[in-house]
A and B are shown apart, each in its own frame.
Chain A
Protein backbone atom coordinates (compact mmCIF):
# COMPACT_ATOMS: atom_id res chain seq x y z
CA UNK A 1 0.00 0.00 0.00
CA UNK A 2 0.86 3.67 -0.12
CA UNK A 3 3.52 5.01 2.25
CA UNK A 4 3.64 8.75 2.95
CA UNK A 5 6.59 10.41 4.71
CA UNK A 6 6.29 13.92 6.09
CA UNK A 7 8.97 16.37 7.27
CA UNK A 8 9.64 18.10 9.56
CA UNK A 9 7.76 16.66 12.52
CA UNK A 10 7.87 20.02 14.31
CA UNK A 11 8.29 23.51 12.92
CA UNK A 12 8.49 26.78 14.79
CA UNK A 13 8.38 30.12 12.96
CA UNK A 14 8.00 33.77 13.83
CA UNK A 15 4.72 35.46 12.96
CA UNK A 16 4.91 36.80 9.42
CA UNK A 17 7.50 34.26 8.26
CA UNK A 18 6.81 31.47 5.78
CA UNK A 19 6.44 27.78 6.65
CA UNK A 20 7.11 24.85 4.34
CA UNK A 21 6.15 21.22 4.98
CA UNK A 22 7.28 18.46 2.63
CA UNK A 23 5.88 15.01 1.87
CA UNK A 24 6.97 12.09 -0.28
CA UNK A 25 4.86 9.15 -1.38
CA UNK A 26 5.69 5.72 -2.70
CA UNK A 27 2.81 4.67 -4.97
CA UNK A 28 3.18 6.25 -8.41
CA UNK A 29 -0.53 5.51 -9.02
CA UNK A 30 -1.55 8.03 -6.33
CA UNK A 31 -3.40 10.87 -7.98
CA UNK A 32 -4.92 13.02 -5.25
CA UNK A 33 -3.00 14.91 -2.55
CA UNK A 34 -4.92 16.76 0.16
CA UNK A 35 -3.61 18.67 3.16
CA UNK A 36 -5.37 18.76 6.50
CA UNK A 37 -5.10 21.00 9.55
CA UNK A 38 -5.94 19.59 12.97
CA UNK A 39 -6.55 21.81 15.96
CA UNK A 40 -6.66 20.57 19.53
CA UNK A 41 -9.76 18.53 20.29
CA UNK A 42 -10.98 18.53 16.71
CA UNK A 43 -10.81 16.28 13.69
CA UNK A 44 -8.57 17.14 10.70
CA UNK A 45 -9.99 19.78 8.39
CA UNK A 46 -9.22 19.95 4.67
CA UNK A 47 -7.35 23.16 3.82
CA UNK A 48 -6.20 22.58 0.24
CA UNK A 49 -5.83 19.72 -2.21
CA UNK A 50 -4.18 19.06 -5.54
CA UNK A 51 -4.77 16.51 -8.25
CA UNK A 52 -2.07 14.81 -10.25
CA UNK A 53 -2.73 16.75 -13.45
CA UNK A 54 -1.82 20.04 -11.72
CA UNK A 55 1.63 21.16 -10.57
CA UNK A 56 0.67 23.99 -8.24
CA UNK A 57 -2.41 25.38 -6.54
CA UNK A 58 -2.83 28.49 -4.43
CA UNK A 59 -5.53 29.70 -2.05
CA UNK A 60 -4.76 33.05 -0.41
CA UNK A 61 -1.81 32.45 1.96
CA UNK A 62 -1.47 28.73 1.33
CA UNK A 63 -0.11 26.93 -1.72
CA UNK A 64 0.70 23.36 -2.61
CA UNK A 65 3.18 22.13 -5.20
CA UNK A 66 3.39 18.65 -6.68
CA UNK A 67 6.30 16.95 -8.43
CA UNK A 68 4.94 13.65 -9.78
CA UNK A 69 8.28 12.57 -11.22
CA UNK A 70 10.02 12.87 -7.86
CA UNK A 71 6.88 11.77 -5.98
CA UNK A 72 6.89 14.65 -3.57
CA UNK A 73 4.55 17.51 -2.71
CA UNK A 74 4.82 20.49 -0.38
CA UNK A 75 2.63 22.89 1.57
CA UNK A 76 3.66 26.54 1.71
CA UNK A 77 2.11 28.98 4.17
CA UNK A 78 3.09 32.64 3.77
CA UNK A 79 2.68 35.49 6.26
CA UNK A 80 2.02 33.05 9.08
CA UNK A 81 -0.28 34.04 11.92
CA UNK A 82 -0.65 32.61 15.46
CA UNK A 83 -3.95 30.99 14.41
CA UNK A 84 -2.01 28.90 11.88
CA UNK A 85 -0.55 26.98 14.86
CA UNK A 86 -1.84 23.40 14.57
CA UNK A 87 -0.84 19.95 13.36
CA UNK A 88 -0.76 19.61 9.57
CA UNK A 89 -1.13 16.31 7.72
CA UNK A 90 -0.42 15.51 4.12
CA UNK A 91 -2.12 12.57 2.43
CA UNK A 92 -1.95 10.64 -0.81
CA UNK A 93 -4.81 8.74 -2.34
CA UNK A 94 -5.13 6.03 -4.93
CA UNK A 95 -7.43 3.24 -3.70
CA UNK A 96 -7.59 4.63 -0.16
CA UNK A 97 -6.17 7.68 1.59
CA UNK A 98 -2.91 7.35 3.55
CA UNK A 99 -1.57 10.08 5.78
CA UNK A 100 1.82 11.39 6.75
CA UNK A 101 2.80 11.41 10.43
CA UNK A 102 2.00 15.10 10.84
CA UNK A 103 3.88 18.37 11.42
CA UNK A 104 3.26 20.42 14.54
CA UNK A 105 3.51 24.05 13.45
CA UNK A 106 3.97 26.75 16.09
CA UNK A 107 3.76 30.39 15.07
CA UNK A 108 5.26 32.66 17.70
CA UNK A 109 3.77 36.17 17.98
Chain B
Protein backbone atom coordinates (compact mmCIF):
# COMPACT_ATOMS: atom_id res chain seq x y z
CA UNK B 1 0.00 0.00 0.00
CA UNK B 2 3.00 2.25 0.40
CA UNK B 3 4.24 1.66 -3.14
CA UNK B 4 4.26 4.13 -5.99
CA UNK B 5 4.32 2.38 -9.36
CA UNK B 6 5.95 4.27 -12.21
CA UNK B 7 5.95 3.57 -15.94
CA UNK B 8 7.55 3.29 -18.37
CA UNK B 9 11.04 2.36 -17.21
CA UNK B 10 12.54 4.10 -20.22
CA UNK B 11 11.26 6.45 -22.88
CA UNK B 12 12.66 7.74 -26.14
CA UNK B 13 11.09 10.84 -27.64
CA UNK B 14 11.98 12.97 -30.63
CA UNK B 15 12.85 16.61 -30.10
CA UNK B 16 9.68 18.67 -30.03
CA UNK B 17 7.51 15.74 -29.00
CA UNK B 18 5.53 15.17 -25.81
CA UNK B 19 6.98 12.98 -23.08
CA UNK B 20 4.49 11.31 -20.74
CA UNK B 21 5.39 9.44 -17.56
CA UNK B 22 2.75 7.83 -15.38
CA UNK B 23 2.53 6.93 -11.72
CA UNK B 24 -0.07 5.08 -9.66
CA UNK B 25 -0.52 4.77 -5.92
CA UNK B 26 -2.72 2.84 -3.49
CA UNK B 27 -2.60 4.82 -0.27
CA UNK B 28 -5.49 7.29 -0.38
CA UNK B 29 -3.92 9.22 2.49
CA UNK B 30 -1.16 10.51 0.22
CA UNK B 31 -1.66 14.21 -0.40
CA UNK B 32 1.61 15.51 -1.79
CA UNK B 33 2.89 14.38 -5.19
CA UNK B 34 6.24 15.71 -6.42
CA UNK B 35 8.31 14.88 -9.45
CA UNK B 36 12.10 14.85 -9.28
CA UNK B 37 14.57 15.19 -12.14
CA UNK B 38 17.99 13.59 -11.99
CA UNK B 39 20.83 14.24 -14.45
CA UNK B 40 23.75 11.79 -14.69
CA UNK B 41 26.21 12.27 -11.85
CA UNK B 42 23.83 14.50 -9.90
CA UNK B 43 21.33 14.05 -7.13
CA UNK B 44 17.57 14.20 -7.79
CA UNK B 45 16.10 17.71 -7.69
CA UNK B 46 12.49 18.79 -7.28
CA UNK B 47 10.93 19.66 -10.62
CA UNK B 48 7.26 20.25 -9.86
CA UNK B 49 4.74 19.14 -7.23
CA UNK B 50 0.96 18.98 -6.83
CA UNK B 51 -1.58 18.64 -4.03
CA UNK B 52 -4.81 16.69 -4.68
CA UNK B 53 -7.05 19.75 -4.48
CA UNK B 54 -6.20 20.56 -8.10
CA UNK B 55 -6.28 18.33 -11.17
CA UNK B 56 -3.45 19.98 -13.05
CA UNK B 57 -0.40 22.13 -12.42
CA UNK B 58 1.75 23.68 -15.11
CA UNK B 59 5.22 25.20 -14.89
CA UNK B 60 6.65 26.13 -18.24
CA UNK B 61 6.81 23.04 -20.43
CA UNK B 62 6.17 20.70 -17.47
CA UNK B 63 2.63 19.73 -16.41
CA UNK B 64 1.37 17.37 -13.72
CA UNK B 65 -2.05 15.85 -14.32
CA UNK B 66 -3.73 14.34 -11.27
CA UNK B 67 -6.65 11.91 -11.22
CA UNK B 68 -7.72 11.38 -7.63
CA UNK B 69 -10.44 8.80 -8.35
CA UNK B 70 -8.05 6.66 -10.38
CA UNK B 71 -5.20 7.26 -7.93
CA UNK B 72 -2.92 8.20 -10.78
CA UNK B 73 -0.78 11.17 -11.70
CA UNK B 74 1.41 11.88 -14.66
CA UNK B 75 4.13 14.20 -15.87
CA UNK B 76 3.87 15.73 -19.33
CA UNK B 77 6.84 17.43 -20.92
CA UNK B 78 5.77 19.50 -23.88
CA UNK B 79 8.15 20.38 -26.74
CA UNK B 80 10.72 17.95 -25.30
CA UNK B 81 14.34 19.02 -25.73
CA UNK B 82 17.62 17.05 -25.63
CA UNK B 83 18.41 18.93 -22.42
CA UNK B 84 15.41 17.23 -20.80
CA UNK B 85 17.17 13.87 -21.10
CA UNK B 86 17.35 12.66 -17.51
CA UNK B 87 15.80 10.20 -15.10
CA UNK B 88 12.47 11.27 -13.65
CA UNK B 89 11.06 10.04 -10.34
CA UNK B 90 7.55 10.46 -9.10
CA UNK B 91 6.92 10.39 -5.36
CA UNK B 92 4.09 10.61 -2.88
CA UNK B 93 3.73 11.32 0.81
CA UNK B 94 1.32 12.10 3.61
CA UNK B 95 3.02 14.96 5.42
CA UNK B 96 0.15 15.31 7.87
CA UNK B 97 0.97 11.90 9.30
CA UNK B 98 4.71 12.56 9.28
CA UNK B 99 5.14 10.26 6.33
CA UNK B 100 8.26 10.39 4.23
CA UNK B 101 8.39 10.57 0.46
CA UNK B 102 7.83 7.23 -1.27
CA UNK B 103 9.63 7.23 -4.63
CA UNK B 104 8.78 5.42 -7.84
CA UNK B 105 11.48 3.39 -9.59
CA UNK B 106 12.28 6.09 -12.11
CA UNK B 107 11.95 6.64 -15.86
CA UNK B 108 14.97 7.25 -18.02
CA UNK B 109 14.03 9.77 -20.71
CA UNK B 110 16.11 10.23 -23.84
CA UNK B 111 15.16 13.05 -26.21
CA UNK B 112 16.66 12.54 -29.65
CA UNK B 113 17.64 15.61 -31.71
A binds B: no
